[in-house]
Structure 1
């Protein structure tokens, strides 16, 4: 989930480490009908909050899916792992989470479905080594993702590849998944540099799948200063950083409903770029209503802005769930 973080930050546990890769089953086994996705893209709220749930212990509070607060609408299980076959991914529960069985994990997914929540599988992370660089790899990726959806009841996939992405083949893979699962939830979590221009591979991928893309929750952190949509350089950790970088996506082809603001749940969750949850709310107000802006104010409002994302539900819980209890209710009240 995070990139460019120093070894010192790693030592504090303040980084999203990908789970240990497993080369076992690829998630293509037959599952009970109760494990079929029960929510899907059509049921994602107009304004939604996404949280990453850690399938590993890195110093944040270890939690089961049942402990994720109701303020989250989309829960991204982090992460699926590369298997060694190009494009193919798999998922294994980390024993550190305390699940007695895989069935208990599936039961928690079902329980979230009953609450109207979507549960998706995230691919990548700062340490992720998944590569989709050929037609064969795209096919393997699509088949393994749909297999995991069938096996666990995941509602979709999150693309969080931080070590390069090929727009041609990732588009092919995601279109194949959508063809097999028309109600699939597809989210993306690019780094800021990946969404600076519609010519970048991540941005191109988002535009290529615009007809079924749920939301791009860009990571507004661990990036240093970046260019805003007005051409000015903006420092991370400010309301202007959030609004002026979101503006780039909004002005270059994405629908407001496909733009979300991703921030760390606590200072420990990232190497830089943390903002108080109240700043996230101010940025959403600025984009949706033209209020609570900083120095930068968009030339129009985007009341359909999707919402916000955080890394992670675990770091949020470690900090007393301040992020979700502040941002969640605010997102619900957006116009």
Structure 2
């Protein structure tokens, strides 16, 4: 590792987000220099350095730090944190490189709005490995400036014997995205005869679905996330091996968080932190490629688009915490109901438009793959408070166009371009209010001359129960 004690008097080759890192003469742990990271309300002052490593080798990263909250970790690997505002204390994490891995990016950062943190005497060593080599003279691209949750994470390593496969990035072409139900919707009479089916069932891909949202984990009242067989009635989750097989066959798989019946207490930062702490190991063990935010309860706006409510802040805390602990190509989609998005054109506050500042943050910073707004179970809105019935081409076109042009709320413009829109529709009659026949779906899609990224549906299982007409039609519209 180069410049581990900052005695050179400059940051190189460290790279810090927002220009918030500097070298100071006090307070220091030893010597005459230390790193200072001035974390603010919107930036945690993350400083990174990329170092050379050997594959399949154990390494230990340590640093002496002080500050209200200070985090130390390795991108895609282990991390730890402490709160030591008045004295230096040592943080230490160990990790083992993967097969073929030749570099690792280490990071330090503070916490939003908690002020300046300090770091000194950083050490990176690996018994049996090579001597650490300096990183390139040009600063590496910093990892996203989103911090882990402020609570220690359990081990996120896959269990012995688990099959692992790499995270897949954002699909390059058009997508047909469907929710895969981890329960048996046939035995309970909802959509017979097609109930639970393996996530690697070849029929899913054959009928056009190349992005799958696995729905839903159980979320306990304290924020603990469960993803296991029997966590709820008739639930059976896909194994890591089945996930990898589905991905090898062409699927990109996200975990969908929320749903109509799986809420989370967004008023509590403690619950948010517990959520992050417990979901990240699941995402890693089961080889997920991203998360889909489908939280439909507990989120409300403050009434001022420029001032986040507690629930909005904690949802951002969850998203940032997850993204910071996963590889940089890990995906993010959102599937809010229309009231939470275009409903903001009617009024902003409570649920109306509550997703808008969150959508804006992740569209603007490039982390949102696309928006899956639900064009069903309620009215649809244009940019001027105009309202349309669900299940109509007119409503589909009006709100899709509104998002592309930009929805202006209290002087702030929130824009979601066509290539970041994957509108959500019910797959079959009964799957949701506002079902559109294949001919109406075709009219809606063709209104945009192929500019949309794709279409989403609830659900794969509903579609399979009635002949796969949604998936087949959507795939045909996309020329696949």
Tell me the TM-score normalised to structure 2 length. Answer: 0.55
Match of 1:149 among 271, 277, 283: 283
Does residue 90 (structure 1) correspond to residue 226 (structure 2)? The answer is yes
Describe the SS at the equivalent of 2:449. Answer: helix
- What's the counterpart of residue 171 of structure 1? 316
C-alpha deviation, 1:27, in angstroms: 9.5
Whole-Å separation in 1 of the counterparts to 2:265 and 2:461 = 27
Which position in structure 2 is the counterpart of 1:40?
A: 168
Change (3 A) 1:121 1:282: same
1:30 and 2:158 correspond? yes
Tell me, in whole angstroms, the C-alpha distance in 2 between the residues paired with 1:139 and 1:33: 29
Structure ranking higher in strand proportion? 2
Where structure 2 has 5 or more consecutive residues not aligned to the other structure, the ranges are 1-153, 300-310, 407-414
Is 1:53–2:180 an aligned residue pair? yes
Q: How does 1:1-335 map to 2 (within 5 A)?
A: 28=156, 30-31=158-159, 35-36=163-164, 38-42=166-170, 44-58=171-185, 59-60=190-191, 61-62=194-195, 63-67=197-201, 68-70=203-205, 71-85=208-222, 87-94=223-230, 105-165=239-299, 166-181=311-326, 182-196=328-342, 197=344, 200-210=353-363, 211-223=366-378, 225-229=379-383, 231-252=385-406, 253-270=415-432, 272-288=433-449, 303=451, 305-332=452-479
Following TM superposition, by how much is the alpha carbon of 1:77 offset from its aligned partner in structure 2, in angstroms? 0.8
Q: Following the alignment from structure 2 to structure 1, what is the Cα–Cα distance between the partners of residues 258 and 447?
A: 31
Residues 75, 33 of structure 1: CA spacing in aligned structure 2 closer, same or farther, 3 A cutoff?
farther
| Structure of higher RCO (CA pairs closer than 8 Å, 6+ residues apart) | 1
Change beyond 3 A, Cα 1:162–1:96: closer
Rg (Cα) greater in structure: 2
Describe the superposition over 1:167-200 as per-residue Cα deviations: whole angstroms up to 9, x where unpaired. Answer: 2121122122222221111111111111113852
| Counterparts of 1:91 and 1:208, CA distance in 2 | 28
Q: How far did residue 55 of structure 1 move? A: 1.0
Provide the C-alpha distance between the structure 2 equivalents of 1:48 and 1:209, rounded to a whole number of angstroms: 20
Distance in 1 between the 2:436 and 2:446 partners? 15
Asked whether the 8 Å contact 1:159–1:188 carries over to 2, the reply is yes
User: Which is worse superposed, 315-324 or 197-206?
Assistant: 197-206
SS at match of 1:174: helix
Aligned equivalents of 1:132, 1:37: Cα separation in 2: 32
1:81/1:309 CA distance change after superposition, 3 Å: same
Q: Structure 1 CA distance, aligned partners of 2:385 and 2:448?
A: 18
Distance 2:434 2:155 in 1: 36
Superposition TM-score, scaled by structure 1 size: 0.78
User: Gaps (5+ residues) in structure 1?
Assistant: 1-25, 290-302
Per-residue Cα deviation, 1:230-268 (whole angstroms, up to 9, x for no partner): 553211111111111122322221232221110111112
Aligned length: 287
